[in-house]
Amino acid sequence: MDIVDSLQKAVVESLQALYSQYFTEKDFQVSQTKPEFTGDYTVVLFSLVKQLKKSPEELGDELGEQLVKNNDAFFSGYNVIKGFLNLIIRDSYLLKILQQNYSNIDYGKKALGDKKMMVEYSSPNTNKPLHLGHLRNNFLGWSVAEILKANGYDVIKTCVVNDRGIHICKSMLAWQLYADGATPASTHIKGDHFVGDYYVKFNDEFKKEVEALKEKGVDKEEAEKQAPIMQQTQKMLVDWEENKPEVKTLWKKMNTWVYEGFDITYKRIGSNFDRIYYESETYLLGRDIVKEGLLKKIFYNKEDGSVWVNLEAYKLDEKLVLRNDGTSVYITQDIGLAEQKFEEYKPDKSIYVIGDEQIHHMKVLKAICKKLGLPFADDIHHLSYGMVELPGGKMKSREGTVVDADDLVDEMIATSKKHTEELGKVKDFNEEELHDLFEIIGLGAMKFYLLRVDPKKKMVFNPEESIDFHGFTGPFVQYTFARIQSILRKVGFEQVARREKQVASGEKIVASGEKQVANSENLLLPLEKQLILILEQYAAVIEQAANELNPSVIANYVFHIAQTFNSFYTAHSIANAETNEKKQLRTCIAVMTGNIIKSAMQLLGIRVPDRM
């Protein structure tokens, strides 16, 4: 039980003892005390005033006195200011928390429970490489999955690959027409980039043909239909659906090139999946569900034979679910895949990490599943996120203006190299260590910058700003961790790897002077106390991030820790502390700070270096 939970419990017990009425934690609010007031946590009293017919000041004094009297080991004092009861946590209580948890690398995390979550993210197309938008999606989905795991959920990470359709055929046809047998191996081009180049080539040629037809007097819409390259592509799609061997062979070959490229990128950015679904294997799903729904009159036919559903009861329009030729639309496939995922894994909640341009589509999916009475309908959750742009504006893949993921990663690593070398603190690193460090900093900067913003918000990604060692950035947090490790080496504390090995084996770690820390009668200095209070909140922060499906909660928290530690260390020496007791206390604070920074950054998919 963390401090806030213990405080709420104590307040409820004190209120019931004082006023012989029933209360719960929902009857009042608890928050951190504002810096301008004396105290650590504040109980907001206004919601109780009317019920108890007391003034805020009178209520605050009575409750404060009762809390301190009955919880002497917890509270050392209180004050009341205009309806706010500010409580002071006793130093010995915080020192006990520090002693019990400072060396626990899993502090704040919950044991695995029986609730199962499915998180679907990435969803690339096999006609082009991953790009900046995919990076936000991957980082968000992966981090949400890890945060849910840390909160005790059994998590399945899934990906749906869009590997069929007219857009895939465009790349295939362009390769047939213009590649002259070239391959990724013969051109030394990464597979997904190679195929993506032919997608751009298709659109370049398509534009030329449309313009030529327009010059002959054909209007634009008709020209786009008549363009020979488009007609060839549509025939290729029909041939694919009819399983023509030569088309299927080409499709498999080009998709293999793309998957090899994707795998390299996923490994580099630290993204992975437990189960991958392919649209070529799922696009026929859902049709039987629709036909069954038609018999039950959940769906209806229009005059042309197409099948529709009326969603007015869900404040949505009618929706097409089968074309008049019996073929599926995307929503039909999604219904079928949702059912397959449920049958395979029985998740308690299925989270779709998809951009906010699909909000309507996801509402329709959930509404149709509800109308069909499918058991998983209420457990579909759309984690929508805003699009990400570069300072130069929007990107268009068909025009070849997309900033692809590999190029951006390369740029981030190059930028991290430049900034790190400017600081001049890596002269004793060998070449392999430098390469690893630049990658840790570059990828960390990018992930932190993309995850520090609430997912619902659109954002602009500024590569240069993301790597500022003094701003609200990943490198600032990483540098703080490295600084802590340097301090611990100076004071002779166990190396991180040794400490982790001891904890994993269940061996108790005892730093010299630990008993002195636990039994200290000295008052904690303000920054010492502030840092312990923040560190103690980690479990609550993980829970909040899991409940909100929001990694920015973790990013903001770990940045706050790094800021506070740097203020603390600027004001108070560890190696040359005033007394040996203070040295041991601050060493334990530094160890716990380092552990939580590392743990929190891992939830964001970010590594932290021991040296920078």
Q: What is the pLDDT of residues 347-391, one digit of tens each?
A: 999 999 999 999 999 999 999 999 999 999 999 999 999 999 888
pLDDT tops 60 at residue 505: no
Mean pLDDT of 276-282: 95
Contact 341, 274 (CB under 8 A): no
pLDDT tops 60 at residue 503: no
Using CA atoms, how far apart are residues 286 and 308, in angstroms rounded to an integer? 14
- Name the domain boundary from 235, 265, 295: 265
The pLDDT tens digits of the residues spanning 165-221 come to 999 999 999 999 999 999 999 999 999 999 999 999 999 999 999 999 999 999 999
pLDDT band at 494 (very low <50, low <70, confident <90, very high): low
Residue 124 lies in a domain: no
Cβ of 133: how many Cβ atoms within 10 Å? 18
Beta strand 41-44 pairing with 154-161? unpaired
pLDDT band at 288 (very low <50, low <70, confident <90, very high): very high
Whether residues 298 and 225 fall in one domain: no
Whether residues 183 and 321 fall in one domain: no
Whether residues 478 and 580 fall in one domain: yes
Whether residues 81 and 223 fall in one domain: no
Mean pLDDT of 49-70: 95
Any idea which of 147-151, 160-164, 494-498, 584-588 has the lowest mean pLDDT? 494-498
Mean pLDDT of 234-253: 96
pLDDT of the residue at 493: 77
Nearest to 407 by CA among 423, 422, 395: 395
- CA distances 58 to 9, 71, 138, 376, 419, Å, are 21, 20, 53, 51, 58
Tally the domains of the chain: 4
- Name the domain boundary from 89, 112, 142: 89
Mean pLDDT of 541-568: 98
pLDDT of the residue at 513: 41
Using CA atoms, how far apart are residues 428 and 440, in angstroms rounded to an integer? 17
Whether residues 482 and 583 fall in one domain: yes
Q: Write the Ramachandran bin of 492: left for phi over 0, alpha for psi from -120 to 50, otherwise beta.
A: left
State the residue range of the domain holding 303: 287-327
pLDDT of the residue at 517: 55
- Name the domain boundary from 42, 62, 89: 89
pLDDT of the residue at 508: 44
Using CA atoms, how far apart are residues 442 and 406, in angstroms rounded to an integer? 12
pLDDT tops 70 at residue 515: no
Q: Hey, what are 573's tokens?
A: 């020496």
Residue 354 lies in a domain: no
The pLDDT tens digits of the residues spanning 37-48 come to 999 999 999 999
Residue 54, classified by CB atoms within 10 Å of its CB into exposed (0-12), middle (13-18) or buried (19+), is: middle
Q: What angle, 0 to 180 degrees and rounded to 10, lies between the N-to-C axes of helices 245-269 and 191-215?
A: 120
Q: Name the 3-class secondary structure at 389.
A: strand
Residue 400 lies in a domain: no
Residue 419 lies in a domain: yes
Whether residues 511 and 586 fall in one domain: yes
Q: Name the 3-class secondary structure at 88.
A: strand
Using CA atoms, how far apart are residues 354 and 122, in angstroms rounded to an integer? 8
Mean pLDDT of 149-177: 97
Any idea which of 113-127, 301-315, 490-504 has the lowest mean pLDDT? 490-504
pTM: 0.92
Residue 341 lies in a domain: no
Whether residues 55 and 22 fall in one domain: yes
Whether residues 185 and 49 fall in one domain: no
Q: Name the 3-class secondary structure at 388.
A: strand
The pLDDT tens digits of the residues spanning 313-330 come to 999 999 999 999 888 899
Task: Spell out where 170-268 has E strands.
Answer: none
Mean pLDDT of 280-300: 93
pLDDT tops 50 at residue 399: no
Residue 111 lies in a domain: no
Residue 480 lies in a domain: yes
Provide the CATH number for the domain around residue 423: 1.10.730.10
Contact 307, 320 (CB under 8 A): yes
pLDDT tops 50 at residue 111: yes
Provide the CATH number for the domain around residue 42: 3.30.1360.70
Residue 252 lies in a domain: yes
Residue 565, classified by CB atoms within 10 Å of its CB into exposed (0-12), middle (13-18) or buried (19+), is: buried
Q: Hey, what are 392's tokens?
A: 């130069």
Whether residues 241 and 320 fall in one domain: no
pLDDT of the residue at 544: 98
pLDDT band at 605 (very low <50, low <70, confident <90, very high): very high
pLDDT band at 516 (very low <50, low <70, confident <90, very high): very low
pLDDT tops 50 at residue 472: yes
Whether residues 305 and 230 fall in one domain: no
**Mean pLDDT, all residues of the chain:** 92
Whether residues 455 and 590 fall in one domain: yes
pLDDT of the residue at 401: 55
Whether residues 465 and 585 fall in one domain: yes
